[in-house]
Amino acid sequence: MDADLVWAVSMGVAFVSWGAMTLAGWAYWVRKKTSMPAAGVTPELEDAIRDEVDRALATRDGELAELHERIDFAERVLGQLGPGEGGREEPK
């Protein structure tokens, strides 16, 4: 092996591991700063908050699914109507 290649590979490994450690450090810092116990929230309250958020997201997902069903139905109905029917414009 060429000495330059060995040096380049070892520098690449060093930089990649330094970058990974930096990202891990940032992730730890963000998690520590945004964790609920740091804000004085008990584990029981944290679980209740997570349950409420999950419930709200499930409700929103259900409403979006219903909206998509209505949009699909409207597209099917409009696709069956001819020109000038249902508020569609006449072709020019």
Residue 5 domain boundaries: 1-34
Rounded mean pLDDT, 64-70: 89
Mean pLDDT score, 55-71: 89
Considering the domain architecture, whether residues 46 and 89 belong to the same structural domain is answered as: yes
Q: Is residue 53 domain-shared with residue 86, that is, in the same domain?
A: yes
pLDDT at 32 over 80: no
Alpha helices for 1-92 (secondary structure H): 3-34, 43-80
**Judgement on whether residues 10 and 55 belong to the same structural domain of the protein:** no
The total domain count for the chain is 2
Both 26 and 50 in one domain: the answer is no
The pLDDT mean for the chain works out to 78
C-beta contacts of 13-20 below 8 A and 24+ residues apart: none
Same-domain status, 61 and 27: no
